[in-house]
Amino acid sequence: MYRMLRAPLKAVTYTRWLHLCVPTLVVAVWMFIYPAAPLMPLLLVAPFGLVPWVRLAEGLQARFLLAPHDEGGLGSTISASPSAHWGDRWRTVLWLEIRLVVSSAALFSTVFLLSASVELGCAAFGHPSADPWVPLEVPRWVSAVLAPVPLVLLASAVVLLGEMITSIAGRLLGPSAAERLSALEERTERLLERNRIARELHDSIGHALTVAVMQAGAARTAGSPEFTERALCAIEETGRAALEDLERVLLVLRESAQPPSQRPTLAEADRLLESARASGARVESEVTGPLDQLPGPVTREGYRILQEALTNVLRHCGPVPVRVRVEVAVGQLDLEVTNPLPKGPTLISGSGSGLRGMRERAALLGGAAETGPHEGTWRVRARLPLERIR
């Protein structure tokens, strides 16, 4: 009831009223030409629904008049493109037929109820119409009391018919089931892309900052100009690589037309290993198999997993011995990083965002990543399948 009372105060009520009255122009013109066949317009408008651009025109009109301020709701679901399939065309035909019928009801209600209110008002002042629409003979005081009633009924009819035609527009001018599925898949892809960007920022920038902090701390305590120079070179190289990654991610976020720079791959793993060695870690590496022949998604995600594993070693254990094993076996890539267990609290629970990111990367490729203590060491092991990716 409260919604019905507020509806006449909203601008959308009157834009919907205008939308309801527009199709009656077709009926009015036809009735002027051939009044003996009032239902003929229902047959005349049907073929227009098969024209692809009619759906675009109807969709834009429905957006602007039926849901002008509902950008994130119904207004965004109404089609604003031509018919792409026969299903869209037949739904447009049905929409035109229903719109014409509902509009006729709205026009009849408007004319009849407005006329009834005027006639009752004239009768209340003692000037009844000579040819009344509503043949009622009532006392003047009764006419005065009843004069506002048709206006209330008209407002209610406009609100109800407006909501009904808006709901129908959402169904007939909205996306089909296939289009909704496509839109859902597109939205899922965007969410996955955002999560991937967040992981990459965490891995790349986190690695660079960890290396810089470790190098700066070691250079301050070493007291050696030669070591300080090596540390500064390592910080510069790591920072430059992080800036390249950051620029690529910013290009994606800005949806720039320029193609983003190539993401790093496992073929560039030596850069990570040298960066870790420059930070004081004693890295022993074992690489087996052709890394340059790995599928793109596997080699890129493998690089990020290795980067995050080395970053965690430097962050939580410092310059300790690290063993890295990368093996391209039959059907899968096996990547393993082991180091001594850190002193004090460890990430036994695996709740860190970096560890979770490694597991997510592996899962997206159909593989698995394990992190945790193993035979007196901390081990990160990822197995990424190759056959599903090619």
Write out pLDDT tens, residues 343-352: 655 444 445 6
Residue 180 has pLDDT above 70, yes or no: no
Long-range contacts, 259-263 (Cβ 8 Å, 24+)? 263/200, 263/300, 263/303
CA distance 267 to 302: 10
pLDDT-based confidence at residue 249 (cuts at 50, 70, 90): low
pLDDT at 208: 75
Average pLDDT over residues 97-111: 88
Residue with tokens 């025109």: 57
Q: Where on the phi/psi map is residue 294: left (φ > 0), alpha (ψ -120 to 50), or beta?
A: beta
In the chain, % of residues over pLDDT 90: 6
Give the lowest-confidence range in 121-135, 151-165, 205-219.
121-135
Token duo for residue 128: 């009844």
CB atoms inside a 10 Å sphere around CB 168: 18
Instruction: Report yes or no: 322 and 339 within 8 Å, Cβ to Cβ.
Output: yes
**Got the DSSP string for 74-104?**
HHHHS--S---SHHHHHHHHHHHHHHHHHHH
Average pLDDT over residues 263-282: 83
pLDDT at 351: 52
Global pTM reads 0.47
CA angle, 22 then 27 then 30, to 5°: 135
Comparing CA positions, the residue from 111, 54, 63, 43 lying closest to residue 83 is 54
Which amino acid would we find at residue 274? E
Laid out side by side, the sheet with 377-385 consists of: 282-288, 321-329, 332-340, 377-385, 368-374
Q: What is the pLDDT of residues 220-240, one digit of tens each?
A: 777 778 878 887 887 877 777
Which amino acid would we find at residue 253? L
Residue 320 has pLDDT above 60, yes or no: yes
pLDDT at 183: 62
Outline where the chain has alpha helix (H): 2-6, 11-21, 24-33, 40-45, 52-66, 74-77, 86-124, 140-146, 149-172, 177-222, 225-253, 269-278, 296-316, 353-364
Give the number of residues written for the chain. Answer: 390
